[in-house]
Chain A
Amino acid sequence: MARDEELRLIARARRGHADAFRLLVDAYKERLFAFVWRMVRDHHEAEDIAQSAFVKAHEALDSYSEKWAFSTWLFTIAYRLCVNHLRRKKALTGDVDFDRVGGTDADVRETVANTEEARRLRALIWAAVDELSPPQKSAVLLFYREAKSCEEIGRILEMPTVTVKSHLHRARARLRAALSEELREGWTELEFFGESRYA
Chain B
Amino acid sequence: MNCSECEQLFDAYLDGQLTGSLRLEFDAHRLRCRHCQQTLAMLETVGNVIASDEPTPDLSLDFTERVLADVARPARRLRINRRVAVVGALALQAAAVLLLVLLVNTRESAPRTATDFSTLWNVAGQPADPGEEALKAWIVRRIEDRAWEMHAAGVSLATDLSEMRRYMHRYANTLLPDELRKSAQNVSVNPVLGLLEVVVPGETAEAETVAPPTVDGIYSI
Contact = CB atoms under 8 A, between A and B. Distances in A.
B100 to A, nearest CB: 41
A9 to B, nearest CB: 14
Interface string B13-56: 01110000000000000000000011101111111111111111
Contacts of B37: 188
Nearest to B12: A165
Contacts of B134: none
Given A172-B10, A179-B46, A194 B53 contact: yes
Interface string B170-192: 00000000000000000000000
Nearest to A179: B42
Contacts of A102: 55
B72 interface: yes
Interface string A58-97: 1100000000000000000000000000000000000000
Interface residues of B, number: 37
B15 A168 contact: yes
A122 B10 CA distance: 22
B55 A103 contact: yes
A13 to B, nearest CB: 9
Interface string B44-74: 1111111111111111100110111011100
A117 interface: no
B63 A51 contact: yes
A47 B60 contact: yes
A30 interface: yes
Given A58-B71, A129-B50, A144-B50, A183 B55 contact: no
Classify chain A: how many residues form its interface, as a range. Answer: 35 or more
Nearest to A180: B42
B11 interface: yes
Nearest to B51: A144
Chain B CB within 10 A, most for which of A26, A51, A147: A51
Contacts of B51: 144-145, 147, 194, 197
**Majority secondary structure, A binding face:** helix
A99 interface: no
Interface in A16-58: 18, 21-22, 25-26, 29-30, 33-34, 37-38, 43, 46-47, 50-51, 54-55, 58
Given A22-B64, A26-B64, A197 B48 contact: yes
A37 B24 CA distance: 40
A42 B39 CA distance: 33
A38 B53 CA distance: 12
B75 interface: yes
Given A187-B41, A197-B48, A107 B57 contact: yes
Interface of A: 18, 21-22, 25-26, 29-30, 33-34, 37-38, 43, 46-47, 50-51, 54-55, 58-59, 102-103, 105, 107-111, 121-122, 125-126, 128-129, 140-141, 144-145, 147, 150, 165, 168-169, 172, 175-176, 179, 182-183, 187-188, 190, 192-198
Given A47-B59, A51-B70, A108-B55, 17 more contacts: A55-B67, A59-B75, A107-B57, A111-B53, A141-B50, A144-B50, A145-B51, A165-B15, A176-B39, A179-B42, A183-B42, A192-B45, A192-B48, A194-B51, A197-B51, A198-B16, A198-B44
